[in-house]
Amino acid sequence: MKGILVNYDYCTNCHSCEVACKKYLDLPVGEFGIKVSEVGPFQYTTGDLKGKYEWSFVPSLTKACNMCADRTEKGKMPMCVQHCQSWCMAYGEIEDLLKKIDGETRYTLLTTKA
Amino acid sequence: MGDFPIADASEGHEDRYINKDWVNPECMVLWGCEPLASNADGYLGHWLAVCHQMGSKIISIDPRLTWWGARAEYWLQIRPGTDAALACSWLNLIINEKLYDEDFVDKWCAYFDELAEAVKDMTPAWAAEITGVPEEDIIAAGRFFAASKPATIQWGLAFDQQMSAMSLNLAAVDLMALTANIDQPGGWLLVHNAFECNGGYASGDENIPEEWMARKLTNSYALGMEGADFISHASSDAVLKAIETGDPYPIKMWWCQSSNEIACAAMDAPRLYEALNSIPFIVNADPYLTPTSVALADIILPVAMSAERDSARSWWTPIRTMKKVTDYYEAKTDEEITIELGKRLNPENYRWSSVDEMLNWFLTPKPTGGWATASGALEAKGQTIDFNMTKDEIDQIGGYVYDDFNGTYQKYEKGLLRPDGNPGFATPSGRIELASRVYEVWGLSPTPFHTEPLQSPISTPEAFKEYPLILTCGGRSYEFFHSENRQLQTSREFHPLPLLTIHPETAKKYGIIHGEWVWVENERGRFRQVANVRPTVNEVTVHAEHAWWFPEEEPAAPVFFGTFDSNVNNLTRAFETGEAGVGSSIKSMICKIYPYKDGDEMPHEVIVNKGGWNKIIPGKAN
Ligand code: SF4
Ligand code: SF4
């Protein structure tokens, strides 16, 4: 099964994936195929992280996502992955993608209904 | 020094991050800069995000928490307009603790003692008082910067928008020189415009007859300011003074191309609007109908968009071309308009018969002497810059060509920077002048110093009682570039209205609710934006967006697409600038805020129908 792996420590909330997908799926205002959520900003007040900031951005796929089937069958990247400004997204077989998760940074694996 | 310094994220190499000469910066100082959204001069901030992904550590010096600050080893939340104090204290620290690279300073720098003497009292404790950054953070971050090899500084527009702008720029060069990070992989890349097709800024000064040059509208005319006018274009204050007073000559026509000045660039937008209104003939060339078109233009020339345009760019590397793929209606490209107008005004200087011919001329290396030095260095070795391609040829191979010069490090050792072909930097002494002799020629202080913003808790404590918040502005967002893109549906979907960022405690104190309109006011006037309540600024600072207008609102007078209603430049002043006419206080003003109420009088009413808030003394600050 295919999926998109996001190294979301480096997602900048640049919206490029969201816009690229909207144009590709021709979605009207307010609708998305991929949407980035914001966590924070807040500052930790206790423990080892005391004083550090959390301000993270995490993309999710919506029901409208078709994994860019017509592109990927031609060997192209999905539109969102192609346009990621931070190079923090990768498309592929989920078993291969899982191997990239190294515990050094935070990842999330995105999949859709088959 | 030789050429223009930019943070080295491998952009000088075609193979980028895998290039064998390139080294990932160990530390990147993001200083007055959020490069993800701001993309200064074609510099893509995401390059630095890739460096961070590859292990670069971050120091963020910014009044706002940004993506960088949230990921930084050190986020120094500086009071707006005081960066030069911080920079001077880092110089002090690095010199006192001998954290500098003694070998590099000994071999390649000059006037170390003069710099050391100038900053000897500018301690981190002194800077902590001024900047609001704790002394221990200044010290720890300064040591971290100095110990990192290589380290780079990515500086932002905030460097130019403070009173000690020239001083701050010098201080940053001194910091990079002391730590031997100039012209080094992963430090500062010294670049020129690719292949010197556009040496220096190639503003064509050399084509202007002396008697015209003598009538240039300068800073010394506008502000009575000491200092050479080393900038090619006229001083904007001097132009305003000439419009308002008719002295030294009346301004009878105004040509405004790809600029929406009353929405964006004007210091004191209401004043500039009134001044421009008195000019008999105004032409506006722009792809869109803007507030400036409607409010001022007698003639509007529709400008072609990028897909309709053949063009080329060299700032900095690689050299790039773009190819026209379509066109619509009667729109002409900037290049076509420029040639047609130039031919009528001064045919001798506009000898090209077509855009292609002009672009091919542009793409030819043109050593101009002075600023451009690589060609001089080659000439001294009996060589010339090896680049000879037409626009068509570059289009054919994908539209770009990398210039090896911009991917070469330690050019100062190789004799590539000086017109005489000797090793060293392109300064009178051949060394990086820590106390700049060129600054002296320009009438500037040769060593860095701090100047307070014109209005601040320190410089105007009485006024600060009435206007108890610091107003900073101009931070970018992904959706827009200055006043551009307000008419794009998707940009507005993501960012529908102008946002004033307010700390939650401050919002509570002034009865302001997230998502509602709020007035920002100083003694000059007011504007409204939508409250964006979040802890990315501190409790005494608010941040306003600039350059807003609303294509969905009424174009005609007095509304002008609502541009005056949300315009931070209702609060700025003309005739206020730093040393030698560079720098300003616009990122460090003071203000008060309060909720907007239905029926409140809108700024466009006051500005367009009632002559504005302020009485103007022609040609002078008010
Ligand atoms: S894979 Fe294609 S359809 Fe799915 S979110 Fe990405 S761009 Fe949209
Ligand atoms: S394109 Fe990449 S960096 Fe930008 S918002 Fe999407 S995932 Fe994040």
User: CATH code at A20?
Assistant: 3.30.70.20
Query: Is B36–A12 a contact, with Cβ atoms under 8 angstroms apart?
Result: yes
Q: What's the confidence (pLDDT) of residue B140?
A: 98
Residues of A in contact with B65 (CB under 8 A): 41, 53, 55
Q: How far apart are CA B189 and CA B187, in angstroms?
A: 6
Tokens coding B191: 């670049």
Contacts of B63 (CB under 8 A, 6+ apart): B77, B78, B79, B80, B470, B472, B537, B538, B541, B543
- Which of B36, B50, B69 has the CB atom closest to A87's CB atom? B50
Query: Is B535–A42 a contact, with Cβ atoms under 8 angstroms apart?
Result: yes
Q: What's the confidence (pLDDT) of residue B6?
A: 94
Please give the C-alpha separations between residue B292 and each of B135, B526, B549, in angstroms, as whole numbers.
46, 20, 10
Tokens coding B198: 């556009």
Task: Decide if the complex's ipTM is over 0.95.
Answer: yes
Write a three-state SS string for B41-58: HHCCHHHHHHHHHCCCEE
Tokens coding B361: 């001329």
Ligand nearest to the CA of B50: 2
Q: What's the confidence (pLDDT) of residue B80?
A: 98
Of B276, B278, B266, the residue nearest B573 (C-alpha) = B266
Ligand nearest to the CA of A2: 1
Give me the total of CB pairs closer than 8 Å, taking one residue from chain A and one from chain B.
Answer: 54
Q: Which of A5, A9, A11, A14 to mutate to test the interface with B (most CBs of B within 10 A)?
A: A14
Contacts of B102 (CB under 8 A, 6+ apart): none
Ligand nearest to the CA of A62: 1
Q: What's the confidence (pLDDT) of residue B86?
A: 98
Which structural domain range is residue A30 located in?
2-110
DSSP class of residue B575? Answer: S
Of all protein residues, whose CA lies closest to atom 3 belonging to ligand 2?
A11
| HSE value, Cβ hemisphere, 13 Å, CA-based, for B16 | 8
Any atom of ligand 1 within 6 Å of the Cβ of A84? no
CB B244 within 8 A of CB B618: yes
Residues in A 63-102 with any Cβ partner in B closer than 8 A: 85-88
DSSP class of residue B608? Answer: I
Q: Which of A37, A55, A89 to mutate to test the interface with B (most CBs of B within 10 A)?
A: A55
Of all protein residues, whose CA lies closest to atom 2 belonging to ligand 2?
A84
The fold adopted by the segment(s) B27-191+426-441 is Dimethylsulfoxide Reductase; domain 2 (3.40.228)
User: Helices (H) and strands (E) in chain A — how many of each?
Assistant: 4, 5
Q: What torsion, rounded to 10 degrees, do the Cα atoms B283, B288, B294, B297 define?
A: 0
Write a three-state SS string for B496-565: CCCEEEECHHHHHHCCCCCCCEEEEEECCEEEEEEEEECCCCCCCEEEECCCCCCCCCCCCCCCHHHCCC
| Regions in chain B scoring below 50 on pLDDT | none
Of B128, B223, B244, B167, the residue nearest B444 (C-alpha) = B167
User: In b/e form, how buried is each residue of B443-475, taking b as 16+ CB within 10 angstroms?
Assistant: ebbbbbbbbbbbbbbebbeeebeebbbbbbbbb
CB A36 within 8 A of CB A20: no
Q: How far apart are CA B244 and CA B188, in angstroms?
A: 43
Query: Is B36–A7 a contact, with Cβ atoms under 8 angstroms apart?
Result: no
Q: What's the confidence (pLDDT) of residue B375?
A: 73
Does the beta carbon of A114 lie under 8 angstroms from any beta carbon of chain B?
Answer: no
DSSP class of residue B79? Answer: P
- Which of A7, A14, A41 has the CB atom closest to B535's CB atom? A41
Tokens coding B99: 């954290």
Residues of A in contact with B481 (CB under 8 A): none
* Sign of the CA dihedral with A54 first, then A55, A60, and A62 last: positive
Ligand nearest to the CA of A108: 2
Q: What's the confidence (pLDDT) of residue B372?
A: 52
User: Helices (H) and strands (E) in chain B — how many of each?
Assistant: 22, 20
Q: Which residue of A has its CA nearest to B53?
A: A10
* Sign of the CA dihedral with B43 first, then B49, B53, and B56 last: positive
Query: Is B49–A42 a contact, with Cβ atoms under 8 angstroms apart?
Result: no
Residues of A in contact with B70 (CB under 8 A): 40-41, 53-55
Of all protein residues, whose CA lies closest to atom 5 belonging to ligand 2?
A13
CA B413 to chain centre: 31
Q: Hey, do B27-191+426-441 and B461-610 end up sharing a CATH topology, with the first three levels equal?
A: no
- Domain extents for chain B? 27-191+426-441, 202-403, 461-610
- Which of A14, A18, A41 has the CB atom closest to B536's CB atom? A41
Write the class of the CATH domain B202-403: alpha beta
| CATH number, domain B461-610 | 2.40.40.20
Domains in chain A, number: 1
Q: What's the confidence (pLDDT) of residue A5?
A: 98
Helix (H) or strand (E) run with residue B315 in it: none
Please give the C-alpha separations between residue B565 and each of B390, B456, B553, B556, B590, in angstroms, as whole numbers.
48, 25, 11, 14, 19
Contacts of A38 (CB under 8 A, 6+ apart): A13, A55, A56, A57
* Sign of the CA dihedral with B248 first, then B205, B202, and B332 last: positive
Residues of B in contact with A15 (CB under 8 A): 478-479, 494
The whole-angstrom distance between B317's CA and the closest CA on chain A is: 19
Question: How far, in Å, is the centroid of ligand 1 from the Cα of B497?
Answer: 28
